[in-house]
Amino acid sequence: MFKNADARLLEDQQLTEMIADRLDRIKRGPASVSIDYDQFTRNLREFDFSEPRSLHSVGEFVSEATAFGSVPMTHPRYFGLFNPAPSYASEWADRIAAAFNPQLAVWSHAPAAVDIEIHTVAALARRIGFPDGASGHFTSGGSEANETAVLCALTRAAPRYASDGARCFAGQPALYVSRESHLAWLKIAHRLGIGRQAVRLVETDGAGRMSPSALRDVIGEDLRQGAIPIFVASTAGTTNAGMIDPMVEIGEIAARQGIWHHVDAAWGGALIASAELRPALQGMERADSITVDAHKWFATTMGAGIFLCRAPKVLSEVFRVSADYMPSNDASRDPYVTSALWSRRFIGVRLFMNLAVSGWSGYAHHVERAVALIGRLRTSLQESGWEIANDSPMAVLNVIPPPRLGSSADVVARTQTHGGAWVSLASVERKPTVRICITNGQTDEADVDALHEILCLLR
């Protein structure tokens, strides 16, 4: 089960070769799940765990199954959801975290690792333009970060929420997000005990952004009905179409009503790296809290979200606890008393290493080139008679095919069957579109031109 340092070298080398082989074969194969699924399930059933097997043979099975039994994120023609091809530095970081397995619940158990995370979060907060004193923490993903935001809002709105829960409110607490937002908000409201009804899906402006006047109307109606507005989230980079809600106006409405303003920039937050593109995020720096995922456009391996908070004192109110077996409960640096997790993996080292190796300039290049490639595709599809259905400053494009090529759903199904590229179906303002997103830093002009040909039935 364990291995001494000298015995590792050979097997580490074998693992490296095993992975390199799969990565290479993925690139040359289809951009879709390509495993023989029936064969795979038969092989899987043979694992009854009665007899030990060699690590090498199990590694072969798992790497083959994972590489080809998943939609391949590392394929340069995966124009898919926000999942990146992970940067190599973040793979190193994952490996280092795994090897030493530090426990980051309390600072005194892993002071260096906790400080590396605090340092990285602070750099991100400064880059965004948050004031000194702002802070936050790494999370398992954007959903946890968004849930933390709602917990902060509920706790700030009613000090008795901590002891009495949702029944401390005299009416239904209400959360406002746009109809185009990420619908994890429904699960969050459910889990927090305020009920899915708490979520108000505010109308959009016809272009996929929350309508501020609709927001004002819904809040006004709620106040008349006795509901209690608590929280509004602007989405900076909607999942369907990369649209950015008008954060300045929404922030002003939130301030006037005294409600928490959160910005969900899970994917789009990466634009802060680029001096040229970051103006699109104007207003984000005035929010009460922000979600950014490192595991999306920042290209780390999965399971790395970030919650940032303008006035983080509320976090120690939300997550306070003391247990006599814990060495301390210091809200200035013990993560288990300021965040949802207890045992805590060294999540942030992946963003730390990637930032250190690439610099902000490396990330700026990464997002700018993706946006430029999407621009190239937008032009070429428009010239071929496609309708452009979104107007995002980010690297996602929604298009509707000309009638001769069938419906958006036809095109997506045909492309996935073809296997030469992977795109998805998404609706923008209730119209089905072909959604094309670039998050892979190795996608290039030849890949984009190939996608154009596949979409137009030219290859």
Ligand X SMILES: *Cc1c(COP(=O)(O)O)cnc(C)c1O
Where does this chain bind ligand X (CB under 6 A)? 82, 141-143, 146, 182, 184, 235, 237, 239, 264, 266-267, 293, 305
Q: Which residue has the tokens 């009804």?
A: 197
User: CA–CA separation, 75 vs 167, rounded Å?
Assistant: 49
- Nearer to ligand X (CB atom), residue 293 or residue 334: 293
Instruction: Indicate the residue type of 301.
Output: T
3-state DSSP call for residue 410? helix
Q: 260-264 and 228-235: which strand pairing?
A: parallel
305 and 138 Cβ atoms separated by less than 8 Å = yes
Task: Provide, rounded to whole angstroms, the least separation between the CB of residue 341 and ligand X.
Answer: 14
Is the backbone of residue 81 left (phi > 0), alpha (psi -120 to 50) or beta? beta
Which is closer to ligand X, CB of 235 or CB of 358? 235
Angle made by CA atoms 451, 411, 369, in degrees to the nearest 5: 30
Running DSSP on this structure, what letter comes out for residue 270? G
| Shortest spacing between CB 217 and ligand X, in angstroms | 24
SS3 397: strand
Rounded to an integer, what distance in angstroms lies between the CA atom of residue 268 and that of residue 281? Answer: 8
**Toward ligand X, which CB reaches closer, 260 or 267?**
267
Helix (H) or strand (E) holding 375: helix 349-383
Residue 181 or residue 274: which is nearer to ligand X going by CB? 181
Beta sheet of 396-400, edge-to-edge order: 387-388, 396-400, 431-437, 424-428
Least separation in angstroms between residue 266's CB and ligand X is: 3
Contacts of 111 (CB under 8 A, 6+ apart): none
Q: Which is nearer to ligand X, 215 or 290 (CB)?
A: 290
Nearest residue to 179 (alpha-carbon basis) of 146, 142, 206, 148:
206
421 near 459, Cβ under 8 Å?
no
Nearer to ligand X, 237 or 393 (CB): 237
The residue whose Cβ lies closest to ligand X is 142
Nearest CA to 321 out of 304, 334, 306 is that of 334
Distance CA 345, CA 117 (A): 11
Least CB distance from residue 146 to ligand X, whole Å?
6
Q: Taking Cα atoms as reference points, which of 426, 428, 392 lies closest to residue 411?
A: 426
Nearer to ligand X, 267 or 363 (CB): 267
**Of 282 and 361, CB closest to ligand X:** 282
In angstroms, give the least distance from the CB of 249 to ligand X. Answer: 19
Q: Which CB, 105 or 266, lies closer to ligand X? A: 266
Q: Which residues pair with 234 in a beta bridge?
A: 263
CB of 304 to ligand X, least distance (A): 8
Between 72 and 142, CB nearer to ligand X: 142
Q: Which residue in 119, 423, 125, 122 sits closest to 269, CA to CA?
A: 125
Q: Which of 402, 407, 408 has the alpha carbon at shortest distance from 434?
A: 408
Q: How far is the CB of 21 from ligand X (least distance, A)?
A: 29
Minimum gap (Å) between residue 139 Cβ and ligand X: 8
Q: Minimum Å distance from CB 137 to ligand X? A: 15
**Which residues partner with 427 through β-bridges?**
432
Q: Least distance in Å: CB of 6 to ligand X?
A: 39
